[in-house]
Amino acid sequence: MAILNLFRFLTLFIVLLPVTTYAGTFNAQYDRLDNGMEIVVIPNHRAPVVHHMVFYKTGAADEQWGKSGIAHLFEHLMFRGTKTLKDGEFSKTVARLGGRDNAFTSQDCTSYHQSINKDHLEKMMAMEADRMINLDLSKDNIEKERQVVIEERKQRLENNPFARFYERLNPLLYTNHPYSIPTIGWLHEIESYTEDDIKKFYQKWYAPNNAILVVSGDISLKEVKLMAEKTYGALSPKGYFPPRERPQIPENLTKNMSISTTFSDPQISQFYWQTHRLVPSHSMDLKTSMAFDIIIEILDGNEASPLYKTLIKEKGKAISTGISYDGSKLDWGVLSFSAVFNKETEINDFKTALETLLKTYAEKGFTQEDINNAKAKMTDRLILMRDDLTSPAYIFGKSMTSGLTFDEIENWHLHLEQVTKEDIDHVFQNYILNSNGPNSIVEAILMPETKDKKEQEEL
């Protein structure tokens, strides 16, 4: 009897343990409905609210050639009503229940989300399930929303010199690749797609077995699953989804080409210098991508790190500088260096100093101490990330729709721990000192308009 009791005691204790200790990176849980819809729950009991997100495994890069922006226009149309819900009634219902809703489209996913009191979660799921299959795609709604998207394109992209710059730069970086096209689409293509194009897009991608449900907040997986079974669970899965093709970059064409380009813009006052190169994303090669994260933490984690300390504070070579890595992609990620200058003539000098700095690491490699220190900081920051309701949900959805598995994200800190000094030195040699990606390095400078200056000089 005594032994049995002790056994029960231990079992209970083990079950309770995860509640009080820090087991996974986010302490999240995973499940799946019978119709194939994936479920991620990240409990956070600070306030009686939840953040409810549905991610579809389709984005701008999955669009048919010549129909750029259709994924994003479609996202807008999801708010225009269904067979049973009037136009605009979705957001009105969310608000009436004290919630907030929105959506976004990126190259590799489309997401819809609401923050709301947990008592209304099932209602959100019911409405989200409804618009997954019952959308009212009337001609009038499409035309109205097309005009709104054109205004959005003007407001967010065409008015902004940096957005204009990237729209022109991306085709140079991603040769023959959908990532070269802006998510919102080219204006003439936004104007072109038909009612039929939009209906086909809906048919093709929107189904429970192409979606991931992510809920963070004051709730358990058990509660979420019960509600999800009643709502999303009633939907039938679709049999076939087209492969998410990301055409390959023609290496023989781009590999040994050096691309350097300058854009001038009247809305620009400083000289913005950048280099970009394609490198493996998290989903292509987790270890390599984590090595990028660690290298950037060491070289450019803060203002006392070598990049800023040496080039800006000590040598005054630029106004500011940085390295960044975008690895949250289904296909190639990007590693970028950037700096801002007052004068164009300062750029070459900076580049030489940067090269010298990087070479010191090529010779001696990264120290174990630097690596351990970077890993410790990155692990600490994962705790800070759990402080917020929306960020963990976003990270799971965004990463899982771009090819990572639930376990890879939940065990992020363990994967980080496994990256060795050899891995890091190797990645530094291959991708930073040399560019062993599919493309050559693209150098670009965004600068003030020089027309007037030239004219003055000629006079």
346 is catalytic: no
What the block records as the tokens of 112 is 């819809």
CA pair distance 48, 304, nearest whole angstrom: 41
**Which residue spans within 57-174 are E strands per DSSP?**
100-105, 110-117
Task: Rule CB under 8 A: choose which of 270, 324, 411, 440 binds other proteins.
Answer: 270
CA pair distance 258, 277, nearest whole angstrom: 11
Identity of the residue, 94 or 278, whose beta carbon is nearer to other proteins in the bound complex: 94
> Could you say which residues in the range 297-316 bind other proteins, by CB under 8 A?
301-305, 309, 312-313, 316
Task: Rule CB under 8 A: choose which of 138, 373, 436, 440 binds other proteins.
Answer: 373
Site string for other proteins, 334-363 (x = CB under 8 A): ------x-x---------------------
> Could you say which residues in the range 91-150 bind other proteins, by CB under 8 A?
91-92, 95-100, 115-118, 144-148, 150
Angle at 412 between CA 407 and CA 414, to 5 degrees: 100
Which residue is it, tokens 């289904």?
A: 330
How many residues in the shown chain lie near other proteins by CB under 8 A? 72
CB of 186 to other proteins, least distance (A): 15
CB of 128 to other proteins, least distance (A): 16
- Listed in sequence order, the residues at least 6 apart from 267 whose beta carbon sits closer than 8 Å to its beta carbon are 161
Identity of the residue, 195 or 303, whose beta carbon is nearer to other proteins in the bound complex: 303
Identity of the residue, 118 or 204, whose beta carbon is nearer to other proteins in the bound complex: 118
CA pair distance 386, 400, nearest whole angstrom: 18
Site string for other proteins, 8-47 (x = CB under 8 A): -x--x---x--x------------------------xxxx
Could you say whether residue 218 binds other proteins (CB under 8 A)?
Answer: yes
CB of 158 to other proteins, least distance (A): 5
Could you say whether residue 451 binds other proteins (CB under 8 A)?
Answer: no
CA pair distance 1, 17, nearest whole angstrom: 24
**Which residues on neighbouring strands pair with residue 115, listed in sequence order?**
51, 100
**Which residue spans within 47-181 are E strands per DSSP?**
49-56, 100-105, 110-117
| 38, 63, 75, 346: the active-site residue | 75
CA pair distance 233, 125, nearest whole angstrom: 10
CB of 197 to other proteins, least distance (A): 19
Could you say whether residue 268 binds other proteins (CB under 8 A)?
Answer: yes
CB of 345 to other proteins, least distance (A): 16
CA pair distance 27, 346, nearest whole angstrom: 49
Identity of the residue, 151 or 196, whose beta carbon is nearer to other proteins in the bound complex: 151
Q: Nearest Cα to 377, choosing from 426, 424, 327, 416?
A: 416
Which residue is it, tokens 């600490």?
A: 380
CB of 43 to other proteins, least distance (A): 10
Identity of the residue, 236 or 390, whose beta carbon is nearer to other proteins in the bound complex: 390
CB 60 within 8 A of CB 402: no
CB 368 within 8 A of CB 405: no
Catalytic residues: 75
